[in-house]
Amino acid sequence: MEFKYDPVPFIFSKGDPYTKLCVLELAGLADTPLGNSLLLELLKTQNKDGGFPSKIDPNFSGVKETERIAFLLLRCGMSKDGLNLASCMKFLLKNQTEDGGFKENPKLTIPEKIVELSTQKDVTWLTADIVDLLREFGLENTKACQKGIHWLRKAEKFGGGWELFSEGSRLAGEGEELIDPDSSAQITFLMKDLFGEEDPLYKRGIVLYEEHLNQVAKDAETGFCFQKGVKEENDIYHLTHLLGQSFFFGKRSADAGYDLKDERVGKIVKAIIQTQREDGGWRPFWLEESDPLYTGLVLKIFCWIGALQKEKIKVMIAKSISL
């Protein structure tokens, strides 16, 4: 499938070092002069506490930013035992609660509009991310990782699925559960990876995933969705949140058969292409302009589901920038 516009020039003209390096790593081009330069630029931003600056307030380290950058550093070949990654892990583990979940750095003040993070409550998707990071470090059998897995299993809602937080979402009304589709998808496929297809949490989660995927495919055909009863045009978040639930482990859904061979995924891919903007990027609903990070995520998802080959991305990059 062909994009309406080449997204690579937009990513490399507007993206930050993390986003650019993610795309280079995806294409197998991280170990190039440009890739090494971006890696060094990224490492220079690491704080004394081992974390990386939060986008909410760069004066403090963010758990979200640190775990994502740690994944990228690993993918770029940095040593797990080196000072940079060891410091990342030390910072992250300081933000694990007694129950086993992870929350955002309590030094941050999270704006009301950012609904997916909390400094007070354990965050489901963030905990799943860090469980995966611990496993990448070879620490699956440590107390920290096992506590995180145990907490995620306890956090499952009645009938299956997960909310954003341990004690419910602030988007939900009193006494109401609000299952978060992408968090649920991410944790569902993690449970399959950990415990296999017969795991009861996976079985309940995959039923929900099917329901949510059916709805997004329907929205993809109509060109709009309903958010809290309000009709909205499809945006890149809505179209990708089930196919790229985790920035580094979203491929699990494709590996489970939810790839381009699935008719529903094909409909979503067509809608993604239709919503591409003239600058080559895509815009999530909370921004006024196209976002380089989400544009890079589209490239990842298209690779995962078989809509785009890595070699094609290499060619696109070579046409646009000097490595």
Convert the pLDDT of each residue in 78-89 to its tens digit. Answer: 999 999 999 999
Q: Mean pLDDT for the chain?
A: 93
The pLDDT value recorded for residue 177 is 55
The answer to whether residue 169 scores a pLDDT higher than 50 is: no
Per-residue pLDDT at 202 exceeds 80: yes
pLDDT at 106: 96
- The per-residue pLDDT for range 220-236, each reduced to its tens digit, is 999 988 877 788 899 99
As to burial, measured by CB atoms within 10 angstroms (0-12 exposed, 13-18 middle, 19+ buried), residue 293 is buried
131 or 159, higher pLDDT: 131
Residues 141-153 pLDDT 10s: 999 999 999 999 9
Structure tokens at 177: 């559960």
Q: Give, in order, the Cα–Cα distances in Å from 246 to each of 127, 218, 297, 301.
A: 12, 23, 10, 10
The reported pLDDT for the residue numbered 170 is 42
Q: How many CB atoms lie within 10 A of CB 270?
A: 15
What are the boundaries of each domain within the chain? Answer: 8-169+179-320
Max alpha carbon distance in the chain (Å)? 55
What CATH fold (topology level) applies to the domain 8-169+179-320?
A: Glycosyltransferase (1.50.10)
CA dihedral 157, 159, 162, 166 (to 10 degrees): 0
Least confident of 96-110, 141-155, 177-191: 177-191
